[in-house]
Amino acid sequence: MNLVETLQNLEPVFIQAGQLAYKMQKDVKYYNKHETGNPASDIVTEADFAVQEFLLKEMVKTDLINCRLLAEEVTISAKKFNEQGKYYLSIDPIDDTKIYASGKEHFSVIVSLHDGEKFLYMFIYFPAWDWTHKIVVGQYSSSGKIPDLPKSIKNTILYWSGNPEKYIPKEVFDNLKNQGIKFSKVEDINLEVGSIGMFASGIVAGVYEEDMNTYDGLVEFNIASAKGLKIYSSQIDLKNIKKRESGLYYSGYYLALNI
């Protein structure tokens, strides 16, 4: 059995992990694990640790234990993986923790695998709606209930941080501007939803990411790639993993478009 098949066999576990997060949400306690000033990356909850450990305890029973683990949180089972492994296994136990901690529903569990050159597998699960997005060797699929999402920002490209105008080719940026497309930070639109579901559903014009977290920063890139959508990007080296206060990341940028 190859690692992609192993991950596919573990999908019921990924769903259970999301349901665990959903169950813990009501009375969850949270605090700042970093002091960057950005709540989206600073906040962590008890559930982040519980969900990650729930996932890893099942993964270490398989050949996935031979992977390099890129996990957002530090938990006991994280130490059992191979730091020199050929494959890179990434875990985001609760993506959009700030939204989760505020009691809102737009959060997900993300599991992915790449070989240093390309992504082989990605699984994104929103437990509030039993809504799944999956990419297996470049093939995208989705299932479950599509939540009600705001329709007022269809001419918007979302981004979390950085400077889109600095890196996007000038002719591309100017063309988007001439079409009435604007760039807005996720936190500024104050809709209490993240970018992944909005992009996957085609609600927004696109997503821009810069110096992407290893845990969740390339989700829209991979969805766009699997759907055959337009992408502008720098060269992103999946083997060149860097570290900052808020965690591990890949340097570079990308712009994924729905238009």
Query: DSSP letters of 51-65?
Result: HHHHHHHHHTTSGGG
Under a CB-based contact definition with an 8 Å cutoff, are residues 52 and 80 in contact?
no
The matching CATH number, chosen from 2.20.28, 3.30.310, 3.40.190, 1.10.10, for 156-257 is 3.40.190
Pick from 131, 120, 128: which is nearest to 226 by CA? 120
How large is the average pLDDT for residues 172-196?
Answer: 91
- The token pair at 147 is 């939540």
Instruction: Inform me whether the pLDDT recorded for 236 exceeds 60.
Output: yes
10 Å Cβ neighbour count for 215?
22
Contacts of 205 (CB under 8 A, 6+ apart): 154, 155, 156, 157, 176, 181, 257, 258, 259
Structure tokens at 59: 């993964």
pLDDT of res. 34: 42
SS3 content of the chain, % helix, strand, coil (to 5): 35, 30, 35
250 DSSP β-pair partners: 212, 241
Nearest CA-CA partner of 118 in 226, 206, 32, 254: 226
Output the CA torsion 214→216→141→207 (10° steps).
-110
> In the predicted model, what is the mean pLDDT of residues 127-144?
97
pLDDT band at 187 (very low <50, low <70, confident <90, very high): confident
Residue matched to tokens 């055959």: 228
pTM for the whole structure: 0.93
Cβ atoms of 126 and 114 within 8 Å: the answer is no
Any idea which architecture 3-143 has in CATH? 2-Layer Sandwich (3.30)
What digits encode the pLDDT tens for the residues 54-70? 999 999 999 999 999 99
List the structure tokens of 102.
């505020």
Sorted by where each begins, the domain ranges of the chain are 3-143, 156-257
